[in-house]
Amino acid sequence: MAFDFEDMLVKIKDKQWALVDIDWDAPGAETIGPELWTKLKPFMSDLMWIENVGARGFAAMATKAPTETLKEIYTYFHAEEQKHANAELALMRRWGMLDGDEIPQPNINVKLVIDWLDKYSDQTSLAVLGTVIPMLEVALDGALVKFIVDEIDDPVCQEVFKRINSDESRHLAVDFQVIELLGHAKMRRILVETVGAWMKPSLIIGTLRYIPLLNKMRDNIVDMGVDEQRLYSAMGRFKKVGERSEFPRRLPMYRFITWHSGVVIDRAHPYHKLADGLVRLTSKYPKRLLRPQPTWSKELTYEPVA
């Protein structure tokens, strides 16, 4: 049966929730012990920032959506990712991880991605963003969020991530449907668009920022005590779900992303020499070369009301 985007949009609107729906002062915050607290802080910060960059990705996708309905869906996803980031920030505040009104700083790899998204995402094709963003979402949904749900007992946190998971399942359903739609295009068009995309230095720069981001994510979750296999099986799921139909395989960008995820999860692959090297290199990236942080990345808030 054909996917009904209209129906999905109605469902998205029906499932809206707000930060005020959650009792942030309810008991349970004390379940986070000091050891977990220390590890959780950078983890939550990364998670929040990745949601925020995902949000910006959807904002860019909305501008090139082929239909008004899909455009509206992406506009909602943009806001929902921001809501997830806001909710995660509110959890950090609940757990006493914020110093006053402080918003945790993104790590350098996230900063590089923010910088890239700010400069290039609006000019990047749907075929590129529409395959990269789902990969990040699969990793988020399948590894990081799952880890939180499994390891943290705080009922408020459970409630928040139940809602986030529910949103993300709709995001993934649309993401994969769009990949399939893109795969229906004529091969000549697909090839012209792919060559066109890779001719742009922005995509090379973006790839060089995406590669260390993934490995850095892996390092961070390993530091948390998460089995990195979780991330790998989540990334493997991208290929598994994507290839339930023949069409995604017609997309060179999809093939590249699945190949890339394949080498990422193969720890013995020489790729990791490059990726880990890039992580080390980017950790020394001179901050003065980064443009000022864009205002869209300063809109995060833990306040349920404004």
Partner 1 sequence: MNETLNVAIIGGGFAGIGTAIRLKQKDVEDFALLERGTAAGGTWRDNTYPGAACDIPSRLYSYSFAPNPDWSHTYSGSAEILGYIEHMVEEFDLRPHFRFGHNVIDVRWNDATSLWDITFDAQPPMHARTVVMASGPLANVSFPAIRGLDTFTGHKIHSARWDHDYDFTDKKVAVIGTGASGVQIVPELVKVAKSVKVFQRTPGWALPRVNFETRQTTKDLYRRFPTAQTAARKAWFWGHESVALGVVWNSPLTRVVEAVGKVHLRRQVEDPWLRRQLTPDFRAGCKRLLMTSEFYPALQKDNCTLVTWPIATLAPDGIRTVEGIEHQADVIVFATGFDVCKTGTPVPIRGRGGRVLADEWSGGAKAYKSVSVAGYPNMYFTFGPNSGPGHSSALVYMEAQIDYLVEAISHALARDLVLDVREDRQQEYNEDLQRRLQKTTWNSGCSSWYLTEDGFNATMFPGFATQYVGQLRAVDYEDYSVSECRPLSRSSR
- Alpha helices by DSSP H, 152-266: 155-183, 187-199, 201-223, 228-242, 252-264
- Name the minimum Å distance from CB 167 to partner 1: 10
Complex with partner 1: residue 114 or 265, whichever CB lies closer? 114
Beta carbons of 29 and 92 less than 8 angstroms apart: no
Beta carbons of 173 and 8 less than 8 angstroms apart: yes
Complex with partner 1: residue 72 or 219, whichever CB lies closer? 72
- Name the minimum Å distance from CB 78 to partner 1: 8
Complex with partner 1: residue 59 or 211, whichever CB lies closer? 59
How many Å apart are CA 147 and CA 6, to the nearest integer? Answer: 33
Beta carbons of 48 and 112 less than 8 angstroms apart: no
- Name the minimum Å distance from CB 98 to partner 1: 17
How many Å apart are CA 220 and CA 143, to the nearest integer? Answer: 12
Complex with partner 1: residue 116 or 254, whichever CB lies closer? 116
Sequence-distant (6+) residues with CB within 8 A of 144 are 43, 47, 50, 217, 221
Binding residues for partner 1 (CB under 8 A): 13, 16-20, 63, 68, 72, 75-76, 79-80, 82-83, 86-87, 118, 122, 294-296, 299, 301, 303-306
- Name the minimum Å distance from CB 152 to partner 1: 20
- Name the minimum Å distance from CB 79 to partner 1: 3
Complex with partner 1: residue 9 or 235, whichever CB lies closer? 9
